[in-house]
Amino acid sequence: MKQQSFLFLACTLALGAAALWIDLPLTQLVAANLTPALDEFFDDLSGVADAETYALMALGAYGIGLWALPRHAVRRWAPVAERLVRGGLFMLLTMASGGILTLVLKHLVARARPSVFLENAFYGLATPFSGSPYNSFPSSHTLTAFAVAAVLAHLLPRWRWPLMALATVVGLCRVLTLEHFLTDVIVAALLAIACARFWAPRVLAPNMEWPLRGPWHWHRKTVR
């Protein structure tokens, strides 16, 4: 517990230092060198982190697996169906919990986006629930990218580092398009990874049987 508290404190101090001494210089550097063509390229690249698309895919996998799991005609595919159920639910819960936390932080912190600083020289926090453009912290696109990468990394551990690298590219693109500060991206990535680590043992562990039941039967103690 002491080690975790120390790590949390160290991360908080490091992020605070980055917000004070890295975010603004980096934003100014990007603004000085960003061209319309590069902006469009980076924006299109970060567009792969579309939360609705991944949520629908996860919901589809979960639904198909849940339908196939109890049917005798497809019993030989039971291991595949179970992986679809657990993997789909794992993705949905990670994205949902991370998305809710991100939305709450966006409204409570009310951090001004880089565009506000570049246009009005304002860098800081507004009144909570001020709305756009005071909703920079943390980055929703980055949360989605890292949530998907973290979930797939648990399911496909051999692909862990390529998946994390792709998510990092998405996060950096949000900085390079001047949509977010670097610390917005870092916190979103940590939040996504933390949510995935929270849900992984609760959904993927073989002794956890509740994911193999329909949501209307989660309260039951056994599968049958």
**223 pLDDT above the threshold of 50:** no
- Provide the whole-model pTM: 0.94
Mean pLDDT, rounded, of the chain: 93
* pLDDT tens-place string over residues 46-62: 999 999 999 999 999 99
Residue 73 confidence (pLDDT): 54
Q: Which two tokens stand for residue 112?
A: 């001004």
**123 pLDDT above the threshold of 90:** yes
DSSP state of 219: T
* Residue 78, φ and ψ in degrees, nearest 5: -55, -45
Residue 7 confidence (pLDDT): 79
* pLDDT tens-place string over residues 154-205: 999 999 999 999 999 999 999 999 999 999 999 999 999 999 999 999 999 9
Residue 1 confidence (pLDDT): 66
Place of tokens 């992020």: 15
Indicate the pLDDT class of residue 74, thresholds 50, 70 and 90. Answer: low
Residue 222 confidence (pLDDT): 56
Residue 224 confidence (pLDDT): 44
* Angle made by CA atoms 185, 114, 110, in degrees to the nearest 5: 75
* pLDDT tens-place string over residues 76-118: 778 899 999 999 999 999 999 999 999 999 999 999 999 999 9
Residue 141 confidence (pLDDT): 97
Indicate the pLDDT class of residue 218, thresholds 50, 70 and 90. Answer: confident
Spatial separation of the C-alpha atoms in residues 204 and 86, rounded to whole Å: 6
Q: How are the residues of the chain apportioned to helix, strand and coil, as percentages rounded to the nearest 5?
A: 75, 0, 25
